[in-house]
């Protein structure tokens, strides 16, 4: 908490003069022009965002702070959206498709959403670092998606002219504020992983952004004090972010990484993704803008065509109405007059002339009788009679009962130039056809007016009769009498359709146009207006060329940025790799040095002999040269140079085999040294493989085993001696059994003889002495017998098999009971007790142990003798327990030695060989025997019949 507080104090105290000064200057500019203020401020924030991005991006290899990196990249895209927002701002007139305050407000909201989401998401990468290119790509995706939505018109409206902000906009600001609070909470939770100053700075930036958003919910116009304050807050927020990013990227790069940030791993080559993004992003934006512009242009072209067609339609309708009016008035004026009167009347020409002067729409007025001859006219007539009987309108009037008709475009016969006429039927009193009043108009009356009014290139205005013939057309075409083909789209419409629109490429002049037609009432005449799409698109194309250049430059710049980034990244990687490599080399060098030192130490102290020979068996390396040779004697030479021919041949044969088979060969050999003594060597020749995998030499390592060989010989000699000694021992015991017993027999026998033959001559004392002599002799005989038995146990062959100790014990117990049926002894023997051993020896063992137990319970009225087994370390420990005389544990150490007795022979008879026998048998099985006893409390003899665990055995071995 202390650190946090310090961080906040630090963040608040420093670096405020710059944004404060900037804010004051900007506010001053707002008095001159709010647009200028807005533009400068927004550009400043964009600049700050871009700078923050560049700094964090390039210092990332040093800082390794994923959190700051994501913030930097994110602000780059927020800045990009803000830039477009600025360009689209009302009054900037830079983006042609943007005419209202809606789009810039949408862009603003999009930028704020991006910023808020960025601040919310960024703390997540503290724990889970994001790849560097993803850090850039994810905010990019969000920004581009929002931008595309706005430019395609799919983003909700934010500002409606005359009404102000939409609810969507206002609630979005509140939502953004909520997200920002979430972002602050998120960051606070993870504050432990970041420098407190970073946390404080970002929190402060969040707070400023919240303030800005609160301001923007208030304003009704895009130019207003709330808007101004909001923008100032925004500048402060951006500045705070920038300060944090730059501060920690540059000044404290070593403090920037989070404590638990994983070690930096060089990013994989991201050139293609980055390059594609650099090209695709501007390309997509350009396409969206272009499509938008195109649609707009087309819409405008159509609207323009409709409007123009309406104007020209009204004009043409007026002209024809005037004609009709004139014809009607003239008809009325002349109703009472016959054709002859008309022809001869002097006033009529003046009357008609006056009308043509009053109405410029009527170029000339003609009066034709029923045969088509012109009887009078507003123009002076030629001397020869003039007939209109060939004109189509006259024939149409004569043929059909139609009041008015419009003739085709003709070259005048009296008045010069292209013209056409409106003709009105004159009828006799009976209603029969009686000539026509004809009002003629020059074609260029229309075309000149149209040319003046619709001067845009490619525009066409025309009057077309229902049969496709042009009455007038601007621009004019020669010959003027050309007709629109009957299969043209215009004639797809039925004659009853009053108006319509279509797009086609004109067959008259080959221009692609958008056409609108209006049908004149009561005449089958159409006003056709067409504006050239090419001409309309010309401005769009020009605009798009500018955009293309702009976005092309942007793509190029991004591409350069990507390249620069990759190069920086690669350099960082190279440096890192170099550092690792150098460290590795240092490590290896140290290892090598140590290894070399160790090798030297071993080499100089080791008796081992190491040689390396090349393919020609010349020595290239020698360690510990043997046989009294020195390195100088051997290096560069072969065995033949310093060994006897016999020894060299022997060695080289082996070495050639190693080279040929490429397999190691173990060698034991003797060589003669310089003084001619035999030296034994033992070791291995190993092929040394060259780069082609074939042996290009060999390595041999040897040990002089002469001493060992001598020792081995000595051991052999001693073993032989030992065998001989054993033989002697055997013959000794044989002698004992024969030769020691024979004198005893003599002693006993002759003592007996004395007793028998001379009893009269020997007194009682003498007899007692003789008795003692005999007893001693007999006892010695027993001792010799037991000794022999013991010696035989040691020598006899063993045959181990599964044995039921209980069965053996029962048999021994039976014998014991039979030997003294009077005794009250209970044998407690389990039904079955498995053991593995030599049946004969185990019988002897039980005879001794049970016999002892039997013997030492002899003084007790009741006795119990138990055979059983315990488990110790998974192995059985057998025991024989009695409740007899027992013994003092003080003397347990001597218990198992031959002839050792702990009781008087008078109390318990015996030679003291029984337990020695027991121990011998147990030892021969690899087991152990021990005893526990107390005087008059019985004794327990334990024994095992297999070796104890190897560890215990090893420990035992060490103690030995």
Site of interaction with other proteins (CB under 8 A): 734, 737-739, 741-746, 748-753, 774, 777-778, 780-781, 785, 788, 792
Give 484 or 777: the residue with its C-beta nearer to other proteins.
Answer: 777
Q: Closest CB to other proteins among 397 and 754?
A: 754
Residues 6+ apart with CB under 8 A from 706: 678, 679, 680
Of 416 and 738, the one with the shorter C-beta distance to other proteins is: 738
Of residues 738 and 832, the one with the C-beta less far from other proteins: 738
Phi, psi values for residue 52, rounded to 5°: -60, -40
If the CB atoms of residues 461 and 787 are measured against other proteins, the closer one turns out to be 787
CB of 663 to other proteins, least distance (A): 54
Q: Residue for token digits 């700051």? A: 68
Q: What are phi and psi of 226, to 5 degrees?
A: -65, -40
Q: What angle do CA 627, 629, 632 make, to 5 degrees?
A: 160
Q: Least Å distance between CB 905 and other proteins? A: 17
The angle that helices 17-32 and 34-63 make with each other, rounded to 10 degrees, is 150
Q: What is the 3-state secondary structure (H, E, C) of 115-136?
A: HHHHHHHCCHHHHCCCCHHHHH
**C-beta neighbour count of 433 within 10 angstroms:** 16
Q: How far is the CB of 910 from other proteins (least distance, A)?
A: 17
Half-sphere exposure in the Cβ direction for 647 (13 Å, CA)? 21
Sheet holding 695-704, edge to edge: 619-623, 608-614, 695-704, 678-689, 665-672
Nearest Cα neighbor of 277 from 132, 155, 411, 422 is 132
Query: Minimum Å distance from CB 664 to other proteins?
Result: 52
- Report DSSP state, residue 884: S
Distance CA 312, CA 526 (A): 11
Q: In what order do the strands lie in the sheet with 875-882?
A: 824-828, 862-872, 875-882, 939-943, 929-933
Contact 926/952 with Cβ under 8 angstroms? no
**Of 483 and 769, CB closest to other proteins:** 769
DSSP code, position 873? T
The residue (of 701 and 750) whose beta carbon lies closer to other proteins is: 750
Q: How far is the CB of 938 from other proteins (least distance, A)?
A: 34
Q: Considering the complex, state which of residue 492 and residue 775 has its C-beta at the smaller distance from other proteins.
A: 775
Q: Long-range contacts for 249-255 (Cβ within 8 Å, ≥24 apart)?
A: 249/55, 249/56, 249/59, 249/63, 249/65, 249/68, 249/72, 250/55, 250/59, 252/195, 253/59, 253/62, 253/63, 255/195
Least Å distance between CB 749 and other proteins? 4
- Taking the complex as a whole, how short is the minimal distance between the CB of residue 747 and other proteins, in angstroms? 8
Angle between helix 34-63 and helix 225-246 axes, rounded to 10 deg:
20
Which of 44/777 has CB closer to other proteins?
777
Integer Cα distance of 893 and 505 in angstroms = 130
8-state DSSP, 152:
T
Which is closer to other proteins, CB of 739 or CB of 768?
A: 739
Q: Which residue, 672 or 741, is less far from other proteins as judged by CB?
A: 741
Min dist CB 737 to other proteins, Å, is 5
**Token duo for residue 383:** 């001397």
Query: Measured from the CB of residue 881, what is the shortest distance to other proteins in angstroms?
Result: 33
Kindly state the helix (H) or strand (E) to which residue 23 belongs, with its residue range: helix 17-32
- Least distance to other proteins from the beta carbon of 791, Å? 10
Q: Find the length of the chain.
A: 960
Question: Minimal distance in Å, beta carbon 838 to other proteins?
Answer: 15
């Amino acid at each position: 908490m202390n650190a946090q507080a310090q961080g906040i104090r630090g963040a608040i105290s420093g670096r405020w003069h710059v944004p404060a000064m900037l804010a004051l200057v900007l506010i001053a500019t707002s008095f001159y022009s709010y647009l200028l203020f807005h533009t400068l401020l927004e550009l400043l924030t964009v600049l700050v965002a871009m700078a923050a991005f560049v700094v964090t991006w390039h210092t990332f290899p040093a800082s390794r702070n994923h959190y700051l990196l994501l913030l930097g990249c994110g602000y780059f895209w927020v800045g990009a959206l803000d830039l477009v927002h600025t360009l689209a701002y009302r009054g900037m007139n830079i983006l042609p498709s943007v005419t209202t305050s809606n789009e810039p407000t949408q862009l603003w909201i999009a930028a704020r959403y991006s910023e808020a989401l960025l601040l919310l998401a960024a703390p997540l990468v503290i724990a889970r670092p994001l790849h560097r290119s993803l850090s850039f790509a994810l905010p990019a995706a969000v920004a581009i998606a929002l931008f595309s939505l706005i430019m395609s018109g799919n983003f909700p409206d934010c500002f409606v002219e005359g009404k102000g902000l939409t609810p969507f906009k206002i609630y979005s600001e509140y939502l953004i504020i909520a997200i920002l609070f979430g972002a602050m909470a998120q960051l606070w939770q993870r504050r432990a992983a970041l420098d407190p100053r970073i946390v404080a700075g970002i929190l402060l930036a969040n707070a400023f952004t919240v303030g800005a958003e609160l301001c923007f919910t208030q304003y009704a116009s895009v130019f207003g004090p709330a808007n101004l304050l909001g923008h100032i807050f925004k500048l402060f927020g951006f500045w705070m972010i920038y300060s944090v990013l730059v501060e920690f990227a540059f000044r404290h790069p070593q403090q920037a990484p989070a404590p638990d940030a994983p070690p930096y791993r060089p990013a994989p080559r991201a050139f293609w993704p980055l390059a594609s993004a650099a090209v695709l992003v501007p390309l997509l934006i350009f396409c969206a803008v272009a499509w938008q512009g195109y649609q707009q242009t087309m819409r405008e072209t159509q609207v323009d065509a409709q409007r123009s067609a309406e104007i020209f339609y009204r004009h043409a309708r007026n002209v024809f109405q005037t004609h009709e009016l004139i014809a009607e008035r003239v008809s009325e004026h002349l109703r009472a007059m016959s054709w002859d009167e008309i022809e001869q009347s002097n006033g009529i020409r003046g009357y008609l002339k006056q009308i043509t002067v009053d109405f410029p729409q009527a170029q000339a007025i003609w009066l034709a009788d029923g045969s088509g001859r012109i009887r009078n006219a507003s123009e002076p007539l030629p001397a020869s009679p003039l007939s209109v009987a060939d004109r189509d309108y006259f024939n149409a009037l004569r043929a059909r009962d139609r009041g008015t008709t419009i003739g085709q475009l003709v070259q005048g016969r009296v008045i010069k130039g292209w013209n056409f006429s409106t003709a009105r039927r004159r009828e006799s009193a009976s209603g029969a056809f009686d000539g026509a009043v004809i009002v003629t108009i020059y074609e260029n009356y229309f075309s000149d007016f149209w040319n003046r009014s619709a001067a845009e290139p490619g525009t066409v205005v025309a009057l077309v009769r229902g049969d496709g013939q042009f009455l007038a057309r601007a621009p004019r075409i020669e010959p003027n009498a050309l007709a629109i083909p009957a299969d043209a789209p215009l004639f797809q419409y039925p004659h009853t359709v009053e108006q319509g629109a279509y797009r086609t490429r004109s067959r008259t002049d080959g221009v692609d146009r958008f056409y609108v037609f209006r049908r004149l009432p009561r005449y089958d005449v159409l006003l056709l207006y067409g504006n050239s799409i090419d001409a309309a698109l010309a401005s769009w194309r020009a605009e798009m060329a500018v955009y293309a250049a702009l976005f092309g430059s942007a793509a190029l710049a991004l591409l350069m940025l990507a390249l620069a980034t990759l190069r920086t990244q690669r350099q960082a990687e190279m440096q890192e790799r170099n550092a690792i490599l150098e460290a590795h080399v240092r490590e290896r060098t140290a290892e090598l040095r140590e290894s070399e030192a160790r090798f030297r130490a071993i080499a100089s102290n080791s008796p081992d002999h190491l040689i390396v020979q090349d393919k020609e068996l010349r020595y290239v390396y020698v360690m510990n040269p043997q046989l009294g040779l020195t390195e100088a004697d051997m290096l560069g030479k072969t065995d033949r140079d310093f060994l006897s021919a016999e020894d060299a041949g022997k060695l080289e044969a082996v070495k050639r085999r190693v080279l040929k088979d490429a397999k190691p060969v173990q060698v034991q050999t003797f060589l003669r040294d310089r003084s001619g003594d035999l030296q034994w060597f033992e070791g291995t020749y190993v092929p040394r493989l060259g780069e082609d995998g074939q042996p290009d030499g060999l390595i041999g390592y040897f040990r002089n085993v002469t001493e060992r060989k001598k020792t081995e010989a000595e051991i052999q000699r001693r073993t032989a001696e030992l065998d001989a000694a054993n033989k002697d021992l055997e013959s000794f015991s044989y002698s004992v059994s024969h030769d020691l017993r024979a004198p005893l027999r003599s002693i006993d026998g002759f003592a007996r003889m004395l007793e028998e033959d001379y009893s009269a001559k020997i007194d009682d004392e003498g007899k007692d002495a003789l008795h003692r002599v005999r007893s001693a002799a007999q006892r010695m005989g027993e001792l010799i017998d037991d000794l022999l038995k013991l010696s035989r146990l040691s020598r006899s062959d063993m045959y181990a098999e599964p044995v039921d100790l209980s069965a053996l014990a029962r048999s021994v117990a039976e014998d014991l009971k039979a030997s003294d049926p009077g005794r009250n002894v209970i044998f407690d023997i389990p039904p079955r007790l498995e053991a593995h051993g030599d049946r004969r020896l185990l019988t002897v063992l039980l005879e001794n142990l049970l016999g002892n137990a039997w013997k030492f319970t002899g003084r007790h009225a009741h006795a119990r003798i138990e055979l059983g087994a315990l488990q110790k370390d998974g192995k059985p420990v057998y025991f024989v327990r009695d409740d007899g005389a027992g013994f003092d544990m003080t003397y347990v150490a001597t218990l198992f030695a031959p002839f050792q007795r702990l009781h008087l022979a008078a109390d318990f008879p015996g030679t003291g060989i029984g337990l020695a026998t027991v121990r011998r048998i147990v030892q021969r099985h690899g087991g152990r025997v021990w005893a526990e006893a107390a005087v008059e409390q019985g004794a327990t003899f334990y024994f095992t019949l297999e070796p104890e665990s190897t560890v215990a055995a090893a420990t035992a071995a060490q103690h030995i």
